[in-house]
Structure 1
Amino acid sequence: MPDVDSKLFIGELSLEGKLRPVNGALSAALMAKEKGFKTLFLPKTNAIEAAMVKDLDIYGIESLEELILFLEGKTDLPPEPKADLESFNTEIESEFDMSLIRGQEHAKRALEIAAAGHHNILFCGPPGTGKTLLARTITTILPPLSFEEALEVTKIFSVAGRLNQTEPIVTNRPFRSPHHTASSAALVGGGNHPRPGEITLAHRGVLFLDELPEFHRDVLESLRQPLEDGIITVARASSALEFPARFMLVAAMNPCPCGYLTDQIKRCVCSPGQISKYKRRISGPLLDRIDLHIEVPPMQFDKMTGQQAGEDSRIIRERVIKARKIQEKRFDQEKILTNSEMSGKHLKKYCQIDSTGQNILKTAINNLHLSVRSYHRILRISRTIADLSESNHIQANHIAEAIQYRPHEDKFN
């Protein structure tokens, strides 16, 4: 009888004795290591993702017959080579690039800040101003996934059954863009056997919500917990499951139902009541959780047709990576990764400002009637702007710029 102690066997067996792939192989491999198993046998298709787990021998098996012959010592079967990100293509392949966006320098600057500090961002402007293009370029300036992050994301996609043989390991940050008709269950996860929703599939990546006010109110309100805590709780009658949901929210919306409230050429046909009702579809607590609020105005003809290209994504990404490394060093002894995750104690420790900065903040809070949460978000954004400037201390100009990205309290009333 072959020795099967310290060995774990996982797979679905067909009637022909072939092993079929299963979902969640990476999670199973991590569990096997945690429980003290030394060897894991599983379907060949799942072997590459499971090989991300170190200190665990992985064997990809195609049939029950092959497994028995190997265990009896009648055939050789090499273990799966250990997987690492260098073995796969981590270059971002995208048809979008920041250099393709003409003008909109204010919006592009805000997008860089959002990427550098993992801040949530909302673009508001008439149709055709480039809101969607701006949102879709975000993945081209985000830093690459670390090995630990790739492990987290691959585990999620494996459990959700979204891995395939051509992409057994997720090497690029996810970009999820659910339609505004998506249900709450589709967004947060659910089902009789709960599965990850869009916000969990966007973990360590981007969740893009286009036409934000068109989403159902309950769907938008379900974002509040994950935006604050980085997790989502899916409650069932007998239990409650927690899924990771540390995503960056990028949203876009028109300023009114017809879209042309802020357009200087096309006339808005909406009544004040319609505009107010449209804006109230997004609750104050949700808006408070969005760090940067950006107006995207219509383009002037000369800027639209200008020949001078802006910075390409590669250059901006280098600055973003440098700012992220500053944060990585800063939070080395903390349980957070980026400025957007700073709590009150972190803000007190890492966001000290001088009297000039305090006066600017005081004026802004009094004039804009900002909440405590908005005050904290200004500090986080200021810290990110300082990091992009490679400044150890938050300067008054960093605070002044951060305040520009917060909306007045009347904006959504």
Structure 2
Amino acid sequence: MDPGNGVLGLTGPAFKRLAVIDDDPGVCKFVSRIARDLGFEVATATQSEKFRRLCREFKPAVVVMDLGMPGVDGVEQLRFLVAELNGAEVILMSGFDKKVLNSARQVGEELGLSMKGVLPKPISVDELEKMLTTASHFEGSISARELASAIENGEIRPHFQPKALLQPAYSRQVNEVEALVRWHHPVHGLLTPDKFLPLAEETDLLLPMTHAVAIAACRQILNWDAAGMSMAVAINIAPQLLVNLSLPDEITALAADHGVECSRLIIEITEAGVMADVARAMDILTRFRIKGFLLSLDDFGTGFSSLIQLYRMPFGEIKIDRSFVKDISVNEEARVIVQATIELAHRLDLTACAEGVESLEDLRFLSRIGCDKAQGYFISKPIPGEEMRDFVRARNDDHETLLKKA
């Protein structure tokens, strides 16, 4: 398809301001960190009066608020928002049970507010990210031609999320990261993939975007090598590209052009992507493995792959989907599924990596049951490559202290 034909139609301001109100400063900090990583400009308040002043002066377009603030209940706050910020998008969070949260949400909707969702505490990073993503901070108009130009000009570059080693127990050292694509837009700032990936999928830009991420990963590996850090980088391959029989040759050539061994790159494929065309996927993945790449099966447990197909394919790692991991501290069935998946992986001579780790309690449990690696916001959000050196050194040099804390 002609890159000039596709348009991702969005309207409104380029950025959104977000306000957080909670009497717990730790919650304010937690929400702020996630929101800023998604590109929001953030202000926080731990008292109702400060929040009301903040709303009048800061004029947030998105409000994340605790339903049970001291002195002023959440319904009163909703009425205030109607008067001061009519049109603002609201996310409610609270330790109250979900019935109370849903009732408050209905009150807000009847008052005319745009209620984006409710978040029971403790807050799930995954759920918060989803809600903030729908309250999109970028609402401009992106054409395929603009995206193609961005790829050509080097604006499409990944951030990198560390994976922590859990074996030997609690080591938590880092020697592997996942490359997560970002658009460093010259006007709109940092854009997350939900703003441009659908357009790439609708046009013919998915392959050049994947090439751009692979090139950036290779360059970053060389930079880290020069700084004395030996790191492997995982690259995501979209299911749509698993029909391209030349893909292993293309990625191999990119690695060779930069002097990077294929074993330093990990190819991540989703379970659904593998099952879309098993024969062709087997062809492509086998050739990747022959060339020296490591293979990781992403989102394991969410698709329909049979154990026979898993056994036949040349994966070296499975990544346990965050939908299971996020519940292990509160749900016995989730713990059983995660533990069984880790045991299955080890019996098939695979390593197991848990996605979406959000707490020390989760990390302790995963390490105790033999999970090999962990990835999630508790360890680190995705960060620019130039920040990885300080992060890794602090983490690896201090691993004995971290072991004691764990």
Question: TM-score normalised to the size of structure 1?
Answer: 0.30
Which structure carries more helix by proportion? 2
Greater RCO (CA < 8 Å, at least 6 residues apart): 1
Question: TM-score normalised to the size of structure 2?
Answer: 0.31
Q: Which has the larger radius of gyration?
A: 1
